[in-house]
Amino acid sequence: MRIVITGAAGFIGSHLSETLLDRGHSVVGIDNLLTGDIANVAHLTGRDFVFLKHNVTNYISVDGPVDVVFHWASPASPVDYLEWPIPTLKVGALGTHNALGLAKAKRARFVLASTSEVYGDPLEHPQTESYWGNVNPIGPRGVYDEAKRFAEAITVAYHRYHGVDTKIVRIFNTYGPRMRINDGRAVPTFIAQALRGEDLTIFGSGAQTRSFCYITDLVDGILRLMDSSTNDPVNIGNPHEMSIEEMARLIIQMTGTSSRITFKPLPTDDPKVRQPDITRARTLLGWEPKVALEEGLGSTIDYFKKKMAAGA
């Protein structure tokens, strides 16, 4: 198949591009490099991969046939969407509209990268796809949460009104190689601080929970969803829940650092719990995560060691 991926130079987008190429597909990667890094896809040069530097909030033009459109473009870390609130809203709204327009014009399947953030600070635990969420639309995180909620709404509208074969993947916390050192999320921040010998910074008490999924497991789930017949949202994430403090202490142990933990105030509207109910993924896709946390963290720590040694 010939596949278009917006946000192809990002953390998840680059792994998705690589895996699709490994499976024999042709990939057109689009990214404006606001948070993506061309180094993430540099190794794909010479393969059936074309890169277009383009902001998808503007009209998307791709010559020739397209079988699938993956819409992955968006800042995804609180550090990023707090710095770029309006571009985050625009890529969720205008970018999704343009990507859907491309899929409609090419009669292509459409796969949307949504997020567990559509559940907000959830009152239901664990979170099922039928839960409508608890989101503050005017809080600082609302620019990302509501952008993704709108993206889901317009995606479903294109399915119902135009008959586009759409898929929605609600991604829970994912980690692995190619995350940015200054990403701002827990795993890359803790690893970078540990490798520098700095104290690890926890916001809040550290009792808030997350569920961490390794990148190869996530990509496997995404591609199973792409191949499926379902048009309903599907949670893809690891249901193993742990506190942020537990993650910090595990990284301290695995890196052998002498770092300690410091605590700072919790940001506004930061979710207290996060755990996917993956019954739908298990039932419809035959998917569940396979990579153990220590194995995935080991690979991620090795990547960060090399990246930091190279001065990146």
For position 168, which CATH number holds?
3.40.50.720
Claim to verify: residue 91 and residue 231 sit in the same structural domain: yes
Number of compact structural domains in the chain: 2
Claim to verify: residue 44 and residue 165 sit in the same structural domain: yes
Tens digits of pLDDT across the chain (312 residues): 999 999 999 999 999 999 999 999 999 999 999 999 999 999 999 999 999 999 999 999 999 999 999 999 999 998 999 999 999 999 999 999 999 999 999 999 999 999 999 999 999 999 999 999 999 999 999 999 999 999 999 999 999 999 999 999 999 999 999 999 988 899 999 999 999 999 999 998 999 999 999 999 999 999 999 999 999 999 999 999 999 999 999 999 999 999 999 999 988 878 889 999 999 999 999 999 999 999 999 999 999 999 998 876
Claim to verify: residue 45 and residue 152 sit in the same structural domain: yes
Claim to verify: residue 15 and residue 158 sit in the same structural domain: yes
In a domain, 169, yes or no: yes
Claim to verify: residue 131 and residue 195 sit in the same structural domain: no
Claim to verify: residue 23 and residue 77 sit in the same structural domain: yes
- What's at 258, amino acid-wise? S
Cα–Cα dist 80/34, whole Å? 9
Name the pairing type of β-strands 213-214 and 49-53.
unpaired
Residue 34 contacts by C-beta under 8 Å, 6 or more apart in sequence? 75, 84, 87
**Could you tell me the pTM of the whole model?**
0.95
Q: Give residue 252's domain range.
A: 175-210+240-275+291-309
Claim to verify: residue 132 and residue 253 sit in the same structural domain: no
For position 300, which CATH number holds?
3.90.25.10
Q: Is 161 a catalytic residue?
A: no
Cα–Cα dist 266/244, whole Å? 12
Beta carbons of 113 and 167 less than 8 angstroms apart: no
Claim to verify: residue 10 and residue 125 sit in the same structural domain: yes
Cα–Cα dist 168/230, whole Å? 9
In a domain, 75, yes or no: yes
Residue 213 contacts by C-beta under 8 Å, 6 or more apart in sequence? 172, 173, 174, 175, 236, 237, 238, 289
Claim to verify: residue 33 and residue 128 sit in the same structural domain: yes
3-state secondary structure 205-227: CCCCEEECEEHHHHHHHHHHHHH
Claim to verify: residue 205 and residue 76 sit in the same structural domain: no
Q: Which of 119, 144, 175, 214 is catalytic?
A: 144
Cα–Cα dist 177/77, whole Å? 16
49-53 β-sheet, strand order: 49-53, 26-31, 2-6, 68-71, 109-115, 166-171, 234-236
Scan for tokens 């792409």, then name that residue.
Answer: 226
